[in-house]
Amino acid sequence: MAQQLDVVAIGNAIVDVLSNADDAFIAKHGLAKGSMTLIDDKQADKLYAAMGPGKEVSGGSAANTIAGLAALGAKCGFIGRVRNDQLGEVYQHDLRAGGVEFTTPMAKSGPGTGRCYILVTPDAQRTMNTYLGASVELGPAEVDADLVGRARILYLEGYLWDRPGAKQAFRKASDIARAKGAKVAFSLSDSFCVNRWRDEFRELIETRVDILFANESEVTALYKVNTFEEAVPMVRAHTEVAALTRSEKGAVIVRGQEVATVAAERIAKVVDTTGAGDLYASGFLYGLIRGKDLATAGRMGAIAAAEVISHFGARPEMPLKDLMQKQLGAAV
Amino acid sequence: MAQQLDVVAIGNAIVDVLSNADDAFIAKHGLAKGSMTLIDDKQADKLYAAMGPGKEVSGGSAANTIAGLAALGAKCGFIGRVRNDQLGEVYQHDLRAGGVEFTTPMAKSGPGTGRCYILVTPDAQRTMNTYLGASVELGPAEVDADLVGRARILYLEGYLWDRPGAKQAFRKASDIARAKGAKVAFSLSDSFCVNRWRDEFRELIETRVDILFANESEVTALYKVNTFEEAVPMVRAHTEVAALTRSEKGAVIVRGQEVATVAAERIAKVVDTTGAGDLYASGFLYGLIRGKDLATAGRMGAIAAAEVISHFGARPEMPLKDLMQKQLGAAV
């Protein structure tokens, strides 16, 4: 019988192309600083031609979370669509080399593997411009029912909602997971994304989501409130667990009447915030899986996030499990 | 009339694929720790399948030096051979985006763009395994006489000597440069490479090279001596300027009877030594071009090297010119 998995995720399979840029570049090209914007192939070519030398690192929000979970020792699977090109091979290699079960067939025709052009400004903020490429056609056909059915937790990114096919994949997978008694975890991804899909996201959270990840701007956008404090009781009423992150102010985690407030980790220098939320989710979910209390799971999220913002790219560079054990002073 | 250039380089055009590995992995796969080994496509596939998740950064020794020089403000050109594939496009983008004149036509058939699989061990040492790919056919046809003829300095990497066509390209370019009164700079690249080509390298240095870059193990291999101190007077007799680097022990620079000893820069944490020698050459050559004294040029080499070993990948992440001005406390 095939192996039980801790977490299976569905997400856009995207190779990040990271480059330094200054605020003048962001302004000149009319980019939405700090957010994720979908761009077409012409916009992608134009932006790439204008931006500086890059570094390529496999990315994609849910895939980053899965890569972090696998680095911690969780058993994971991923569903995402790449093309059978050089970047697709790199992408597949990186997940599999990290121990992730990634069996989605590579597309043999259509657009190339997706890319996210990420401009990192001197304040370490990232501005993301995503050309979905082969991911644009991600749909229910890619949802491997066997893989999803083996998961204890299904993890879904809000970005999926931007494409009709991916939305169907999301629904199909969550139906399978719920029928098997698995938990559904959901990340709100981006406040612009929340603004595009507010009503549907609220319905999803009320009907299908057990574990919610959101940052301050996303959760306040979700409920159209002005302050984080107003949003907390609203989200608490609708999900089993919510991990609400606030960058350097740390995170608030709620589960029923239980609340844990966890400080951000101190780090010497924030280099690139790409993947901070994704890796927070890795650490936090890993804590939940291992039965840690909310405060410990939150700390694990903060440690994983701190690692990834200390260098370029949203995949861990340090052996995450060793780092976690060292920081917590205990086996994880 | 076309623009005069400070430095034009010829080198293998290689995309680095960097990954963490432990010493057991290096031993198990029989890799030559700390050195560069040429591998074929089968070995490349096998090694890639075994290694961990990677990061892709444009590389190639001479190209790294040129990228660093351009980041400092020098006017540069590069000659190298990539295929018209995704990695070739990335490679071309990265040099051009840095301001380098890179006009070598992309190969339309034959092997894909070259890759170097770099294993970074916990001691920050890098072990390089190069699949030359499209670079294997670099030859005199790629030597653009106009581009080379506009250079004040022609920069050549020792690695070129490993392929007959590249060796011819080296000779053709250095003939052009010398006829125009330009200086020829040469990096010994790797002690294994020196052992393969000792006699030819010595002859080259005595007859064609004005500025030599070598590290301690390369220069002692060149003259088959046991100590650095024995090698210094030998190299001094044969080149106009020699910059001899000794990792954390700094560097010794000789020019006729002049000698400068320059300490290594202190850095918080060495992450990955890939490109240390290449970026040393960037800083040092930039100093020479700007008429700095030997000690200042050496310090500039050390500052550029320190930047590149503080992160994964052999291309600078910090704005190198700003960093240099800050460290030296003066305009560069």
List the single residue in B49, B53, B67 with the smallest CB-CB distance to A94: B53
Residue B331 has pLDDT above 90, yes or no: no
pLDDT > 70 in chain A, percent: 100
Q: What rounded mean pLDDT belongs to chain B?
A: 96
B317–A contact, CB cutoff 8 A: yes
B319 with A20: Cβ contact below 8 A: yes
B237–A contact, CB cutoff 8 A: no
pLDDT for res A72: 98
What single string gives the DSSP state of each residue in A95-155? HHHTT-B--PPPBSSSSPPEEEEEEE-TTS-EEEEEE-GGGGG--GGG--HHHHHTEEEEE
State mean pLDDT over B129-150: 98
Could you tell me which chain B residue has the CA closest to the CA of A310?
A: B311
> d(Cα B293, Cα A299) in Å, to the nearest integer?
52
- Band of the pLDDT at A2, cuts 50, 70, 90? confident
> d(Cα A263, Cα A246) in Å, to the nearest integer?
9
Q: What are the C-alpha distances in Å from A271 to residues A124, A277, A283, B171, B271?
A: 5, 15, 20, 43, 14
User: Which chain A residues contact residue B97 at CB under 8 A?
Assistant: 19, 51-54
Span B5-13+61-103+136-328: which CATH code? 3.40.1190.20
- Dump pLDDT digits (tens) for B268-291: 899 999 999 999 999 999 999 999
CA distance A266 to chain B (A): 16
User: Domain A5-12+60-106+138-328: what homologous superfamily?
Assistant: Ribokinase (3.40.1190.20)
B53 with A90: Cβ contact below 8 A: no
Largest CA distance in chain A: 56
A313–B contact, CB cutoff 8 A: yes
> d(Cα A60, Cα A66) in Å, to the nearest integer?
10
- Dump pLDDT digits (tens) for B226-235: 999 999 999 9
A56 with B53: Cβ contact below 8 A: no
Residue B332 has pLDDT above 90, yes or no: no
A93 with B48: Cβ contact below 8 A: yes
A98–B contact, CB cutoff 8 A: yes
Q: Which helix (H) or strand (E) holds B14?
A: strand B14-20
CA distance B201 to chain A (A): 33
Query: Comparing C-alpha atoms, which of B13, B54, B61, B1 is closest to residue B36?
Result: B61
Q: Are B297 and B289 in contact (CB under 8 A)?
A: no
State mean pLDDT over B165-174: 96
Q: Is B211 helix (H, G, I), strand (E, B) or coil?
A: strand
Q: Is B326 helix (H, G, I), strand (E, B) or coil?
A: helix
> d(Cα B135, Cα B131) in Å, to the nearest integer?
9
List the single residue in A67, A112, A317 with the smallest CB-CB distance to B312: A317
User: Which chain A residues contact residue B271 at CB under 8 A?
Assistant: 311, 317
> d(Cα A183, Cα A201) in Å, to the nearest integer?
17
Residue A230 has pLDDT above 60, yes or no: yes
pLDDT for res A331: 86
What single string gives the DSSP state of each residue in B260-325? EEEPPPP-S-----TTHHHHHHHHHHHHHHTT--HHHHHHHHHHHHHHHTTSSSSS--S-HHHHHH
Residue A139 has pLDDT above 70, yes or no: yes
A55 with B97: Cβ contact below 8 A: no
User: Which chain B residues contact residue A53 at CB under 8 A?
Assistant: 58, 67, 93-95, 97-98, 315
Which residue, among B14, B20, B90, would best test binding to A if mutated, counting the most A CBs under 10 Å from its CB?
B90
State mean pLDDT over A112-137: 97
Percent helix, strand and coil across chain A, each to the nearest 5? 45, 20, 35
User: Which chain A residues contact residue B51 at CB under 8 A?
Assistant: 97
A112–B contact, CB cutoff 8 A: yes
pLDDT for res A262: 97
pLDDT for res A105: 98
- Dump pLDDT digits (tens) for B172-227: 999 999 999 999 999 999 999 999 999 999 999 999 999 999 999 999 999 999 99
What single string gives the DSSP state of each residue in A160-214? GGGSHHHHHHHHHHHHHHHHTT-EEEEE---HHHHHHHHHHHHHHHHHT-SEEEE
The residues spanned by each domain of chain A are 5-12+60-106+138-328
The dihedral over CA atoms of A45, A13, A134, A83, expressed in degrees to the nearest 10, equals 100
pLDDT for res B63: 98
List the single residue in A48, A67, A97 with the smallest CB-CB distance to B93: A48
pLDDT for res A1: 58
Q: Are B18 and B120 in contact (CB under 8 A)?
A: yes
Q: Are B284 and B260 in contact (CB under 8 A)?
A: no
Q: Which helix (H) or strand (E) holds A330?
A: none
B53–A contact, CB cutoff 8 A: yes
B94 with A317: Cβ contact below 8 A: no
Residue B1 has pLDDT above 60, yes or no: no
pLDDT for res B2: 80
B320–A contact, CB cutoff 8 A: no
> d(Cα B193, Cα B221) in Å, to the nearest integer?
10
B56 with A55: Cβ contact below 8 A: yes
Cβ–Cβ pairs < 8 A, chains A and B:
77
A85–B contact, CB cutoff 8 A: yes
